[in-house]
Structure 1
Amino acid sequence: MTRTTQQATALIVDDEPDIRELLDITLSRMGIAVQTASDLVSARDILAKAPPQLCLTDMSLPDGNGIDLVAWIQQTCPQTPVAVITAYGSMETAIEALKAGAFDFVSKPVELPRLRELIESALRLPDEEPDNDPTSEPSLLLGESDGIRRLRAQTRKVARSQAPVFISGESGSGKELVARMIHLQGPRRDAPFVAVNCGAIPSELMESEFFGHRKGSFTGATDHKAGLFQQADGGTLFLDEIADLPLAMQVKLLRAIQEKSVRPVGGEKEIPVDIRILSATHRSLAEQVQIGSFRQDLFYRINVIELAVPPLRERPDDIALLARHILERLARDYECEPVSLSDAARRQLQQHTFPGNVRELENILERAFTLCEDDRIDVDDLQMGDTPAVPKPGPQPVINTGTSAEHEAPSGNSVPPIPEDGELDLEHYLETVERQAIEKALEATKWNRTAAARKLGISFRALRYKLKKLGLD
């Protein structure tokens, strides 16, 4: 159940009567029942009797500070989100409040549109923190190991905040899945989740990709384009492999995060954006700061809360559960009968160190899924040994090298020639060969898939998989 403005209550904590009155009027006009307190003692008394659905507190109070109240709320009534009102430009104080557990912060002088935005976001939080929230897609973080249980609990907790989260972990360990879990369990779950691999964007296009551009701002800019920040407006922007950003782009990113606005390339005005930043990399950001390849100020801004994703080798007992889930998904995706692992195959997987983590497990199982017979994956199907697996007998396509007549394919079964300079897109080339061989086998058997699979020397499941993958289904 989510809070609504019709039923919401709020506590305002500030020692300045004028500020309390301004906030009281603003929240009352939003349909929120308001209580006020001028110090920590009276605020704690109100919170202890009947925790409201939102708390706004000034940082400076006569008998303490707002961070003290944030910490007390975290211990006493953690379901109440608390936002801290900070002095203008006090980013260090704001980050300290977020680390203590504050939902968000707003700077003085308080901008009412920004305040309303914050309140509406806080009121979209669920009233309770269930173990299995159906909106969180728990299958994204499967496992019963201590590390995964702890990570799931951490994602539920940080999802209730607007603090930037840095997700560390090895390649293939599931950092983007953690980011999606945070998004899906938070107040922004109905808004966009935009993921970008920072290392995959050419440096000369980065500013345009992140902030957008105006028509005619550079050669090729034939129309206005919204950047990633604008695409994620209202939702979450996940910056994967953030350590790959060049220093010049880090400066611009830091400004956009702090100012909550962007200026498109060729634009004259700043465009406000409301996003939550999540980031990740497989590198050590602290080491990148030390060697000077990552800005320290940006590091502190994005690393308010850090979550570490455990590698697969540290949770071998989760492998059987993950494998079953992956195989069930493959069966659904390729409309095949589900398959199971033999005990020997399961043991081999659990003994493997998985340097590529969950991504490697997925690749191994996808290959085994197409090779296995009788709906059962055995050790040989996994192909995890040092020696390559011997291909199963069956007709092999004849590759035309284009160099002599004796290498030509039989008429009607031609494949693209290999260029004389030897340069080619191997993946596309092999896909073309495979497509032609399958189409010929289907034509020869009048599209009897069982007979075509037999003719190709592969299992029926392997043929179904390839048909789906190649778009021939």
Structure 2
Amino acid sequence: MRPARRLLILDDDTELVDAVARHLERHGYSPTRTYMVAEAAAAIDQSVRDALPFQAIVTDLQLPDGDGRAIVRLARERLPSCPVLMMTGSGSISGSVEAIRLGAVTVLEKPVSLETLANELRQAVDDRAELEDGLDAATNAGIIGRSAAIRGVLDALFLAAPTDATILIEGETGTGKELVAKAVHRLSRRSRAPFIPVNCAALPETLVESELFGHLKGAFTGADKSREGRFQQAHRGTLFLDEIGEMPLPLQPKLLRAIQEGEVQPLGSTKAEKVDARVVAATNRKLEQQVAARTFRADLYYRLNVVPLHIPPLRERPEDVAVLAAHFLKPAKRNLTPAAIAALERYAWPGNVREMENLIQRLLVLKPQGDLDLADLPPAVRGAPASSGAPAAALPGQGVDLYAVLGDLEDRLIREALERSGGNRNQAAQSLGIKRTTLVEKLRKMARREGS
């Protein structure tokens, strides 16, 4: 039998509180009755101290010693996973809007029938449980972060995962595209069936069709037995097509048919086989540009891009760096000093999350004990120039034009980045830790200065 859910009720109408408490006890709740804001706040604090947090709160808006919005605010701080339902008899639209903005899941106009309240409460608790399961699945899959960009990814993921819509995940190498694909699978109704990953870039062009759709015995030289393709292996599950931009152009119509019609034809067979596989694809390329260049079929692109998910590079979400580092350090029970964290947040992370994970593993090997400090980081990460035996620049006695010196340094670094990348502005911008548009604007300014 499931234990009763702990519920806090706050209203200065004692008869209403008693009636709500008695009714909700029959629906599996263990209510705590409070009649003043201060009393409810003390109960919340006590529940946190006792490690027996409330699992739902029902509060009135207006009370003798304050209003219920204070409880909404306190619950968000102390009990972030606890849904708060607000009741109001004042008809205050501004108060209701403010309560929702602060985190109340709904505002109910008094008088509220006890059955309506029970239904609203059950829905709020169930929704919060689903959200927590989703967050746990995302965290377990390695999707870590508190930035608005990652929250946007998770919001879209939670909406799309329960459906059968195809998903196209875009992001640079190392951003965690396969982790997102696995989270989609875990949160879908197909989670008990197989998750089948395929790296399209790793397959020889001559074997891609056989690998995806299977073959019969004798279909080609070396086919000594029949073999299922990845679509068949993913039946009722999820097929993850990584690096989809590498898919050979001649095979793309067959892939499109398999996705649209839900059927594949193994090599050597004259009959199509029905398959039920949800397709999630990923790429670190700009497929729209490939479509324009006619190296990727437009119809396949539109079929894959039903739900687009863009994973932002780590350099665009520095607020996630400390959270990710703590996640990778957690198994070793180690910490970074504030100076080390600040350096990690300044670093451009060209290899994204994968680079950070590898760096943390290396640091743990090289320093088996104690906190990891700024001096433990590689020179490129901590921002110190690599030692070359040359003396550090000194300030001349007559002083310098700082802006001119910094401008010259910036021009020199931009030229070096372009030389290293062979003129590729995307790569040059990445190595400099700036956006491509920023690099283009700086190049324009350089050209104007040199022209004058």
Q: Which stretch has the larger CA shift, 235-244 or 369-378?
A: 369-378
Corresponding residue number in structure 1 for 2:342? 347
Corresponding residue number in structure 2 for 1:360? 355
Equivalent residues of 1:367, 1:382 under 8 A apart: no
CA distance in 1, matches of 2:294, 2:190: 34
Give 1:388 deviation, angstroms: 8.5
CA distance in 2, matches of 1:373, 1:279: 39
Give 1:137 deviation, angstroms: 4.2
Question: In the TM superposition, what whole-angstrom CA distance separates every residue of 1:222-275 from its partner, at most 9, and x where no partner exists?
Answer: 222111101111011111110111101111111111221111111232111001
Corresponding residue number in structure 2 for 1:157? 159
Corresponding residue number in structure 2 for 1:449? none
Give 1:365 deviation, angstroms: 0.9
CA distance in 2, matches of 1:320, 1:364: 14
Please give the residue correspondences for 1:427-442 in structure 2 after superposition, counting only pairs within 5 Å: none
CA distance in 2, matches of 1:351, 1:159: 34
Corresponding residue number in structure 1 for 2:201? 199
Equivalent residues of 1:372, 1:378 under 8 A apart: no
Corresponding residue number in structure 2 for 1:54? none
SS for the counterpart of 2:131 is coil
Give 1:131 deviation, angstroms: 2.2
Corresponding residue number in structure 1 for 2:238? 236
Corresponding residue number in structure 2 for 1:138? 139
Equivalent residues of 1:132, 1:138 under 8 A apart: no
SS for the counterpart of 1:325 is helix
Q: Which stretch has the larger CA shift, 375-384 or 253-262?
A: 375-384
SS for the counterpart of 2:255 is helix
CA distance in 1, matches of 2:239, 2:215: 18
Please give the residue correspondences for 1:272-351 in structure 2 after superposition, counting only pairs within 5 Å: 272-329=274-331, 331=332, 338-351=333-346
CA distance in 1, matches of 2:387, 2:373: 16
Cα 1:265/1:317, change in 2 over 3 Å? same
SS for the counterpart of 1:194 is strand
Corresponding residue number in structure 1 for 2:149? 147
CA distance in 2, matches of 1:384, 1:169: 27
Cα 1:156/1:268, change in 2 over 3 Å? same
Count of residues in Structure 1 that have an aligned counterpart in Structure 2 = 257
Corresponding residue number in structure 2 for 1:417? none
Please give the residue correspondences for 1:25-64 in structure 2 after superposition, counting only pairs within 5 Å: none
Cα 1:384/1:265, change in 2 over 3 Å? farther
Question: In the TM superposition, what whole-angstrom CA distance separates every residue of 1:404-449 from its partner, at most 9, and x where no partner exists?
Answer: xxxxxxxxxxxxxxxxxxxxxxxxxxxxxxxxxxxxxxxxxxxxxx
Give 1:297 deviation, angstroms: 0.8
Equivalent residues of 1:212, 1:228 under 8 A apart: yes
Corresponding residue number in structure 1 for 2:50? none
CA distance in 2, matches of 1:281, 1:168: 5
Corresponding residue number in structure 2 for 1:374? 369
CA distance in 1, matches of 2:245, 2:337: 41
Question: In the TM superposition, what whole-angstrom CA distance separates every residue of 1:123-153 from its partner, at most 9, and x where no partner exists?
Answer: xxxx747321167243421111111112111
CA distance in 1, matches of 2:233, 2:377: 41
CA distance in 2, matches of 1:273, 1:128: 32
The code of the aligned residue for 1:347 comes to: A
SS for the counterpart of 1:341 is coil
Equivalent residues of 1:235, 1:275 under 8 A apart: yes
CA distance in 2, matches of 1:366, 1:229: 36
1:247 aligns with 2:249: yes
Corresponding residue number in structure 2 for 1:122? none
SS for the counterpart of 1:376 is coil
The code of the aligned residue for 1:234 comes to: R
Question: In the TM superposition, what whole-angstrom CA distance separates every residue of 1:14-47 from its partner, at most 9, and x where no partner exists?
Answer: xxxxxxxxxxxxxxxxxxxxxxxxxxxxxxxxxx
Question: In the TM superposition, what whole-angstrom CA distance separates every residue of 1:203-224 from its partner, at most 9, and x where no partner exists?
Answer: 0110111011112222221222
SS for the counterpart of 1:138 is helix
**Aligned mate of 2:378, from 376, 383, 387:** 383
Equivalent residues of 1:163, 1:305 under 8 A apart: yes
SS for the counterpart of 2:165 is coil
CA distance in 1, matches of 2:155, 2:217: 46
CA distance in 1, matches of 2:186, 2:368: 39
Give 1:156 deviation, angstroms: 0.5
1:172 aligns with 2:171: no
Equivalent residues of 1:192, 1:231 under 8 A apart: yes
Question: In the TM superposition, what whole-angstrom CA distance separates every residue of 1:332-378 from its partner, at most 9, and x where no partner exists?
Answer: xxxxxx32212222111111011111011111111111001423222
Corresponding residue number in structure 2 for 1:53? none
1:220 aligns with 2:222: yes
CA distance in 2, matches of 1:138, 1:288: 33
The code of the aligned residue for 1:136 comes to: A
SS for the counterpart of 1:254 is helix
Corresponding residue number in structure 1 for 2:259? 257
TM superposition score normalised by structure 2: 0.54
Cα 1:174/1:307, change in 2 over 3 Å? same
Cα 1:180/1:372, change in 2 over 3 Å? same
What stretches of structure 1 of length at least 5 have no aligned partner? 1-126, 332-337, 390-473
CA distance in 2, matches of 1:274, 1:327: 40
SS for the counterpart of 1:349 is helix
What stretches of structure 2 of length at least 5 have no aligned partner? 1-125, 389-452
Equivalent residues of 2:138, 2:144 under 8 A apart: no
Question: In the TM superposition, what whole-angstrom CA distance separates every residue of 1:301-324 from its partner, at most 9, and x where no partner exists?
Answer: 111111111111121111111111
The code of the aligned residue for 2:281 comes to: S
Identity %: 46
The code of the aligned residue for 1:280 comes to: A
Corresponding residue number in structure 1 for 2:22? none
CA distance in 1, matches of 2:171, 2:365: 30
The code of the aligned residue for 1:286 comes to: E
TM superposition score normalised by structure 1: 0.52
CA distance in 1, matches of 2:153, 2:178: 13
Question: In the TM superposition, what whole-angstrom CA distance separates every residue of 1:56-94 from its partner, at most 9, and x where no partner exists?
Answer: xxxxxxxxxxxxxxxxxxxxxxxxxxxxxxxxxxxxxxx
The code of the aligned residue for 2:249 comes to: L
SS for the counterpart of 1:223 is coil
Cα 1:384/1:215, change in 2 over 3 Å? farther
CA distance in 2, matches of 1:388, 1:166: 44
